[in-house]
């Protein structure tokens, strides 16, 4: 089974590959585009515009951060509904049959062959690209810094979320600690550690696969998507997050 046509192009995009910054920004849920071979997965236009298909605003924030830092940006060009690249192949959430209040008919009872086709077409190329970038930096004597950027819905299963920005980490807390410390001084948003999700929710796969495995500083950023709904708010948030990240990196360099 061929998931992607030649006309659709590859699943991973890299911008500013030669960026001078050690920071590599990753956006796993950048796009709501589905491979043509999957149609609509049986979903309505409303569902395909919603947060279940992508992380609204995350790619724009990632781009502004990358520009400010002169960092490399890597992002997935297809929807998380086809394959969620922040989940390993064995995870039920990798090709979810349900997402929040939505059932995803096109992901129900997938055959082994259908699942394998998505893994081969979307997951492996994406993570191979990240791995290659990080290894190239290491080979040149630069210690990369891994930053993943996401957004989350302000209302989940009918319950409003007060948290505005989440700074997430797994076992390595170095970068997150520094950002949270900087946020105490620049208290512009309701910023919390490992919220609205945490490692127990399985959201740190990319951090573990590339950050922890290589002993690299790493952090995951979650932004409530109503705060990054237009270009101006995306720029403001990117500037804020970039400031926190810079302060954390400066603090780490002195240790």
Predicted confidence at residue 197, as pLDDT, reads: 94
CA distances from 54 to 13, 24, 230 (A): 16, 20, 16
**Which of the 8 DSSP states describes residue 6?**
G
DSSP secondary structure string for all residues of 101-141: TEE-GGGTT--HHHHHHHIIIIIHHHHHHHHHHHHHHHHTT
More confident site: 79 or 252? 79
Q: Rounded distance, CA 62 to CA 72, Å? A: 10
Mean pLDDT, residues 79-97 taken together: 97
Q: Does residue 94 have a cis bond before it (omega within 30 degrees)?
A: no
Q: How confident is the model at residue 253 (pLDDT cuts 50, 70, 90)?
A: confident
Q: Rounded distance, CA 20 to CA 111, Å? A: 44
Predicted confidence at residue 114, as pLDDT, reads: 97
If residue 240 lies in a helix (H) or strand (E), which one and from where to where?
helix 231-253
Report, in angstroms and rounded to the nearest whole number, the Rg of the chain calculated over CA atoms.
Answer: 18
Q: Rounded distance, CA 91 to CA 50, Å? A: 22
For 180-200, the pLDDT digits (tens) are: 999 998 778 999 999 999 999
Structure tokens at 185: 């001084």
Mean pLDDT, residues 146-157 taken together: 96
Question: Parallel, antiparallel, or unpaired: how do β-strands 145-152 and 218-224 relate?
Answer: parallel
Q: Rounded distance, CA 65 to CA 19, Å? A: 12
**Which of the 8 DSSP states describes residue 18?**
T
- 11-20, 65-74, 184-193: which has the minimum mean pLDDT? 184-193
**Which of the 8 DSSP states describes residue 35?**
P
Q: Rounded distance, CA 63 to CA 211, Å? A: 21
Mean pLDDT, residues 121-134 taken together: 98
Q: Rounded distance, CA 60 to CA 65, Å? A: 9
Instruction: Give the number of other CB atoms < 10 A from CB of residue 118.
Output: 23
């Amino acid at each position: 089974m061929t998931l992607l046509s030649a006309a659709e192009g590859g699943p991973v995009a890299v911008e500013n590959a030669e960026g001078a910054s050690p920071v590599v920004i990753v956006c796993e849920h950048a796009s709501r585009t589905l491979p043509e071979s999957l149609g609509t997965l049986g979903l309505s236009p409303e569902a395909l515009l919603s947060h279940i298909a992508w992380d609204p605003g995350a790619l724009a924030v990632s781009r502004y951060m990358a520009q400010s830092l002169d960092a490399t940006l890597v992002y997935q060009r297809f929807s998380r509904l086809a394959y969620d690249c922040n989940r390993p192949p064995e995870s039920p959430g990798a090709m979810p049959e349900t997402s929040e209040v939505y059932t995803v008919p096109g992901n129900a009872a997938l055959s082994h062959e259908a699942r394998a086709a998505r893994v081969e077409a979307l997951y492996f190329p994406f993570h191979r690209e990240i791995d290659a970038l990080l290894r190239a930096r290491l080979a040149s004597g630069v210690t990369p810094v891994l930053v993943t950027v996401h957004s989350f819905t302000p209302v989940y299963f009918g319950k409003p979320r007060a948290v505005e920005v989440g700074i997430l980490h797994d076992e390595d807390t170095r970068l997150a600690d520094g950002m949270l410390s900087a946020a105490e001084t620049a208290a512009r948003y309701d910023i919390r550690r490992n919220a609205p999700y945490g490692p127990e929710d399985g959201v740190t796969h990319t951090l573990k696969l590339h950050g922890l495995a290589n002993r690299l500083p790493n952090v995951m950023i979650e932004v409530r998507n109503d705060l990054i709904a237009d270009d101006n708010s995306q720029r403001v948030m990117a500037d804020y997050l970039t400031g926190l990240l810079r302060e954390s990196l400066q603090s780490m360099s002195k240790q």
